[in-house]
Amino acid sequence: MKKLKVLLIRTALFFLSIYIVHDYIYGDVSQMQYKELIEGGYLNADHTQDEFFDFCARIYGRGLEEKFSHICFWAD
């Protein structure tokens, strides 16, 4: 049982470190894409989380996947 706890903690720390490193490296890219979403009129400034996820679900096949796939893939 103790080995399982250690394994789970190490696994959680591993994935947390991946998220932190990704945010450190690509945080500016996400902020720029998010700003472009609002300035480009794709989303309102006061959009809800559901509207954001709906937008991300609709980008594929419309020519927007290259432009906004990063922010939609790493959405919190």
- Per the listing, tokens 């470190």 go with 17
Domain membership of residue 10 (yes or no) is no
Domain membership of residue 71 (yes or no) is yes
pLDDT, tens digit (0-9, with 9 covering 90-100), for 59-73: 887 878 788 877 887
Contacting residues for 65 by C-beta, under 8 A, at least 6 apart: 59
3: left (phi over 0), alpha (psi -120 to 50) or beta: alpha
Long-range contacts of 64-68 (CB under 8 A, 24+ apart): 67/33, 67/36, 68/33, 68/36, 68/37, 68/42
Domain membership of residue 11 (yes or no) is no
Give the pLDDT of residue 14: 94
Is the pLDDT reported for residue 75 higher than 70? no
Domain membership of residue 20 (yes or no) is no
Domain membership of residue 74 (yes or no) is yes
Band of residue 74 on the pLDDT scale cut at 50, 70, 90: low
Q: Which domain holds residue 33?
A: 25-76
Domain membership of residue 41 (yes or no) is yes
Domain membership of residue 59 (yes or no) is yes
In the chain, how many domains are there?
Answer: 1
